[in-house]
Structure 1
Amino acid sequence: MKIVLLDGYELNRDLNWKLLRELGDCSFYNRTSEDNNEILERISDAEIVITHKTPLNEYVIGKAHNLKYIGIMGTGYDVVDINSAHKNNIIVTNVPTYASDAVAQFTISLLLEVVGQVGLHNQLVHNGNWLKSPDFTFWNKPLFELSGKTLGLIGFGHIAQKVAKLGHAFNMNVIFYNHHSKVVPEKWIKQVSLDELLQQSDVISLHVPQTPTTIDLINKTTISKMKPTVILLNTARGSLINESDVAEALNRGRIYAFATDVVQHEPIRPENPLLKAKNCYITPHIAWAPFETRERLLGITVNNLKSYLAGNLVNVVD
């Protein structure tokens, strides 16, 4: 059985794929481009393909005649044309919830950076600014308390629920919007409409998947309903926001800050308007990347395939 791993660099560098090698004849690639011909050249005789971010579109899936199983190394599955896979009787699996703790932790890290400015002031101290100060303290950017502020979560899946608990630990008021009703046992959290969330929140954090209805969810219209002091966070998908609209709002002072771990095109392109926007914090899609999280991802990816081979399907994308 031929197994092809298309883009394993982030795991290959410090993790061991021994368990996958035991399941078949494996070809491992650190990176594969989005070129259909290159992808097909690598998977043409494969029954099993594992991908992280390398896209498998309708054309590629239709030409890969031996393909029976696609394992996605991640929770989101927009990288694979699911309809085409189903039409060709190909099983697709993903890895749900493997990074919930890490992404929730990172979401709060972004928020703490905005309100606490640790990175900036650490750099200023090392640059000698404190050394030259006549006072025992100095700061050159506003600092804020989270206690009493309202945290609004758009989406309420595993990650958002963990972020909610972390926000509550900081004595924040927590509200959320979800496309369907959720039963929440905690009395300190409340489900509201999207408009209510946009209007009431001091901090808005995005936790929904990329779908046709969520692309550009944050745009001029939704921004117009927010407080001008709002802090916007995105650790979900870059396409959830209209980057030009957010950059313009930052530069006009229509929102206070935007902190994101994701952008529409990754790696980020030099023309991205967020790079020159005021009070914009960008990290290179690393919320999922702690060693423990990636080790868990690898283990579940291998287990998904082992379960498929044993005739016991798990984590199948419907």
Structure 2
Amino acid sequence: MSLQLVFLDAATLGDADFSALKHIDGELTLHDYSTTAQIVPRLRNADIAIVNKCILDAGVLKQLPRLKAIMISATGTDNIDLDAAAAAGIVVKNVRNYAETAVPQHVFALLLALTNQLIGYQQRVAAGKWAQSRSFCLLDFPIMELANKTMVIVGYGALGQATAKLAAAFGMQVIIAERPSATVARPERMLMAEAFAQADVVSLHCPLTTDTRAFINAQRLAWLKPGAILINTARGALIDAAALINALQKGKLAAGLDVLAEEPPAPDTALLHCALPNLLITPHIGWASREARARMVGKIADNINNFIATQ
């Protein structure tokens, strides 16, 4: 019987080229999206599931005795019950290092938009304020140079390291923060409280775990000096949204967010209705350059072919 491969939510990769998957020896079925109710029926005869954000928990996995492998089209694995998969003998593979240029680029897109006040100035130009100016330019918002400022990196994997390199290219000083629960700093790292106290910019690149969920809370935000900037391109649930909103409303810091705790966010999500000049939100696009998505599909295909070779 031909190997059955089922991609439950292929449309989450946009217009990516799936030809690398179609060349795998087996029968590939691509579904744009799958509801919770559709997951088990669509995977019942699958040997390999490919998923991005669909949740495969213990209840789902126990209904799929034929399933041999789960290929995640992302780095994060929090949508898969890894213990249940291991108990069932199901191999789980994620994709790493496909967005090591795209995500750091987006970090600096958010950061430069905030430090150079791009949104505010564009709005002023569109409203005719430049055309009405008595001066050759508008100086309505303060602009901050990145040179000689300090960036604190939280999570020093491939993305954190690549972001640090860009920061150095801008002339920034880089500090690598220790894990939130750490009481002793490893060599070349700094305890989080001390690091945050020195930060002009904090960039989050850590996974979402029990230790990191909502670890950016009121206490840790209070460690930051006035005017600091928080950038999150990792996972939205790393941040206590209520605490962040309170700090933003008081003008204590600015934030650039590419991720929220719930995605897509509910229409009444508080962060979407802040309308604050010190908050910039983008719709989880940091990973999504055309080049990064092509690399992702290629790495998924590699993971599948490597798995097949071991069978």
Q: TM-score range by the shorter chain?
A: over 0.9
**Deviations, residues 188-210 of structure 1 (Å, cap 9, x unaligned):** xx521111111110111111000
**1:160-175 equivalence runs, <5 A:** 160-175=160-175
Q: Deviations over 1:28-84 (max 9, x none)?
A: 101112x2x321111111111000111111100111111000000011111111100
- Provide the C-alpha distance between the structure 2 equivalents of 1:173 and 1:11, rounded to a whole number of angstroms: 35
Q: 8 Å contact 2:20–2:301 — kept in the other structure?
A: no
Name the residue aligned to 1:272. Answer: 269
Post-superposition CA distance 1:254-288 (Å, at most 9, x none)? 3x201010000001222222123332110000001
Which whole-Å CA distance do the structure 1 matches of 2:20 and 2:159 have between them? 30
Partner of residue 218, structure 1: 216
- The question of whether the paired residues in 1 share the 8 Å contact of 2:24 and 2:305 is answered with no
Q: Distance in 2 between matches of 1:115 and 1:30?
A: 38
Q: Are 2:37 and 1:27 aligned? A: no
Asked if the contact 1:12–1:30 (Cα under 8 Å) also holds between the matched residues in 2, the reply is: no
1:208 to 178, 195, 206: 206
Among all aligned residue pairs of Structure 1 and Structure 2, give the percentage whose two residues are the same amino acid: 35
Shift of 1:2: 1.3
- Written as runs of structure 1 = structure 2, the 5 A alignment for 1:93-104 is 93-104=93-104
- How many Å separate the matches in 1 of 2:20 and 2:285? 25
Cα displacement (A) at 1:21: 5.1
Contiguous gaps of at least 5 residues in structure 2: none
Rounded to whole Å, the distance in 2 between the matches of 1:111 and 1:12 is 25
With over 3 angstroms needed to count, the CA separation of the structure-2 counterparts of 1:84 and 1:273, relative to structure 1, is: same
Farther-moved stretch of structure 1 (259-268 vs 166-175): 166-175
Secondary structure of 2:223's match? coil
* Partner in structure 2 of residue 151 of structure 1: 151
Matched ranges for 1:84-233 at <5 A = 84-179=84-179, 190-233=188-231
Hey, what does 1:16 align to over in structure 2? 18
Instruction: State the secondary structure of the residue aligned to 1:224.
Output: helix
Mean Cα deviation higher: 211-220 or 138-147: 138-147
- Which 10-residue stretch deviates more, 59-68 or 141-150? 141-150
Q: Report the 3-state secondary structure (helix = DSSP H, G, I; strand = E; otherwise coil) of the residue aligned with 2:215.
A: coil
Residues in 2 aligned to 1:220 and 1:83: alpha-carbon distance in whole angstroms: 33
Mapped to 1, the partners of 2:241 and 2:14 lie a distance apart of 32
Aligned residue for 1:309, secondary structure, equals helix
Select which of 251, 255, 258 maps to 2:255.
Answer: 258
Question: Are the structure 2 counterparts of residues 11 and 17 from structure 1 closer, same or farther at C-alpha, using a change threshold of 3 Å?
Answer: farther
Q: Are 1:78 and 2:78 an aligned pair?
A: yes
Name the counterpart of 1:316.
Answer: none
Task: Please list every run of 5 or more consecutive structure 1 residues that lacks an aligned counterpart in the other structure.
Answer: 184-189, 313-318
Structure 1 match to 2:233: 235
CA spacing shift, 1:250–1:12, aligned 2, 3 Å: closer
Residue of structure 2 equivalent to 1:289: 288
The CA deviation at 1:27 is 1.4
Q: Which residue of 1 aligns with 2:44?
A: 44
Q: Is the 8 A contact 2:155 2:205 kept in 1?
A: yes
3-state SS, counterpart of residue 112 of structure 1 = helix
TM-score, structure 2 as length reference: 0.93
- Count of residue pairs brought into register by the alignment: 303
The answer to whether the Cα contact below 8 Å between 2:217 and 2:240 also exists between their aligned partners in 1 is yes
State whether residues 57 and 81 of structure 2, in contact with CA within 8 Å, keep that contact through their aligned partners in structure 1: yes
* Normalised TM-score (structure 1): 0.91
Deviates more, 1:137-146 or 1:6-15: 6-15
Distance 1:72 1:14 in 2: 15
